[in-house]
Amino acid sequence: MLKLIKLELAKHKIRGNILGGFIASFAILAFIILVNFDDEAFVSYKEVMLVSNTFASITFTIFAATLLSKFIIDEFKSKTITVLFMYPISRKKLIAAKITIVLVFTFLFILVSNALSLTGFYIANHYLDFIQDELTITMLREHVIRTIASAVIASFISLVPLYFGMRKYSIPTTIVSAIVITSILNSSSGTDFNLSSIVYIPATIAIIGALIGYRTVRDIDHKDIT
């Protein structure tokens, strides 16, 4: 499995996606800092943590859809996957390797983005004095636990678009479905409430995503790719 993952990373030139992930992370940091120049957007570090985590989850769930399109959907659409299936490699292991790459990428970059946003804002706040709140060890510990849980959930939610994309091997459908899912979960309609704040809703969608990933791997031997 590890060899397959390395081969997939080399074949698809993952460095470009990694660069894109860092650019997106810095963009989130820039937004969180710049928004404070026009208005006092945040009054506490808890608000900063919440916003950075929300933005990271949304951004990299959609980013994951582009990876699914690149690693899986496009190969089925162009039928280049048939060449890979001609080799003496388990189809299930091959698809599992592709899905694992997407899961790990999404998980890690949500963590990276959160860490970068909080660290960057803390440094900026030290010099620009945006908020008077104190960042404590207890707050950091709670944030780490919450961020890891959120990253796991978002990673599996990112597999839901795979179901829609594989129906007609459509890249636009894959990406649009990711945008729709994140919009529904995080739409607040002018209030602080959104569906993602009810933990069992994103958790349930994450379970659905995990099942979609499992079924995609399980049924790949019977998939018609002609």
Query: In this predicted structure, what is the pLDDT of residue 79?
Result: 83
Predicted pLDDT at 22: 97
Of 36, 165, 182, 9, nearest to 110 by C-alpha is 182
> Radius of gyration over alpha carbons of the chain, in Å?
19
What was the pLDDT predicted at 123?
95
Q: Kindly state the tokens that stand for 88.
A: 């003496």
Do 16 and 66 meet the contact criterion of CB atoms below 8 Å apart? no
Return d(Cα 110, Cα 116) in angstroms, integer.
10
Residues lower than pLDDT 70 in the chain: 39-40, 188-193, 224-226
* pLDDT for residue 191: 52
> Would you state the pLDDT for residue 13?
86
Whether the full predicted model's pTM is greater than 0.75, yes or no, is yes
d(CA 7, CA 35): 42
pLDDT of residue 88: 74
Q: Supply the pLDDT for residue 86.
A: 73
Q: Which residues contact 94 (CB under 8 A, 6 or more apart)?
A: 4, 84, 85, 220
Whole-number pLDDT of residue 206: 97
